[in-house]
Structure 1
């Protein structure tokens, strides 16, 4: 008899729905609707919303319940600056720890990214982009940095989609991603960190071009 898997926590399921764009910024999250959708009790949903509010992914509005928090351009820039440091750290650690199998897997993702750019598959490229960053974090073995980056990724999900749709963006970021892969493959921590930071610096430059300054 197959082993039964424990149920996925409600907070994780709501978080993934936000990451997938199923819930959009400023959308109200109604406890009764979430309870029906995820087959969970109201108490479990309430606890999940509190957890996500503590992460900064949603916000509680007095007398109006919860809603998905909208991240301004200024916040998106700050998040990307923090990501620059942590992604650089993870890339350096990955270069120190990567096995031959890890490197082969990264290069496979890189080849898929090349194909996606060549065929104009913007969403396929975006998915592979996220897979690459996640895999580098996993290889790094740095749990604390990975946890922080996962929370930041959730807050910045809308900006990621807008960047992915910017004309020419995949062509710009592809060589940046390939440079990260090759530095890790060369097991050169300093170069891997430099390549990761250079990629995030490129993201910082692109953000004001595609996002309105919502702080105004």
Structure 2
């Protein structure tokens, strides 16, 4: 019988942790979160040497991570200048909002067909919390509830492709997500629009759910147009 050569250890770049993720996967998740959460700002340089230290992986893994993020539209690489966090222009932000509108309208339609009683109850409770935040004037907490509601609707849709595409689009909106004050008067209208969406999902009416979400997000796009006009305040926050 031929001798069996000793097994070679796996390279460090593909070392797997207990959850089956490679070191490069972990580095990708960490750097992506830093960009999406706004810890790394648009146009900030991403220096390979610095990233190897910060992420604890080799330069080959860092290049793989940067290539993945470039495919997602979160990083841009320029010859002789290296990589940096991609800056989304105001025109692109409007296009992203419009694309999300189409996808989230689809998600609302599918949620009306597939949402469980527990998910509907979660949406109702979130509406109650958002209403309380609005009465208290806590607009940041209202915005947090708004985000939870949209996430639950997307989850309830069971539409994996829409979920993936929406996540990618949301990640590119860092510059516009991290503002501090909601556009005056927008929250009250938003609550009415969200209530109509939840009503349609609860009654399992996919046409009404899709129309209500499309109506809501068309107003978000309109708000973004106003926000990015020369007259807009630099502290407005667009929220979904």
RMSD, matched Cα: 2.1
Tell me how far apart the structure 1 counterparts of residues 85 and 179 of structure 2 sit (CA, whole Å). Answer: 17
Q: Which residue of 1 aligns with 2:19?
A: 5
Q: TM-score, normalised by structure 2?
A: 0.80
How many Å apart are 1:136 and its aligned residue? 1.0
Among candidates 22, 46, 52, match of residue 29 of structure 1? 46
* Residue 128 (1) aligns with residue 145 (2): yes
How many residues end up aligned between the 2 structures? 211
Does the Cα contact within 8 Å between 1:25 and 1:69 map onto a contact in 2? yes
Q: RCO greater where, 1 or 2, for CA within 8 Å and sep 6 or more?
A: 1
Any runs of at least 4 consecutive aligned residues in structure 1 with deviations exceeding 4 A, and if so which? Answer: none
Match of 1:44 among 61, 65, 70: 61
Q: 1:191 aligns with which of 205, 208, 212?
A: 208
Counterparts of 2:163 and 2:87 in 1: how far apart (Å)? 23
Unpaired runs of 5+ residues, structure 2, are 1-16, 231-240
**Structure 1: gaps (5+ residues):** none
Whose helix proportion is higher, 1 or 2? Answer: 1
The residue number in structure 1 matching 2:9 is: none
1:157 offset after TM fit, Å? 2.6
1:212 Cα deviation after fit: 5.5
Per the alignment, in what secondary structure is the counterpart of residue 9 of structure 1?
helix
Of the two, which has the highest radius of gyration? 2
| Correspondent of 1:81 among 79, 89, 98 | 98
Give 1:112 deviation, angstroms: 2.0
**Aligned counterparts of 1:66 and 1:125: Cα–Cα separation in 2:** 36
> 1:23 is paired with a residue of what secondary structure?
coil
Query: Equivalent residue for 2:219?
Result: 202
TM-score w.r.t. structure 1 length? 0.88
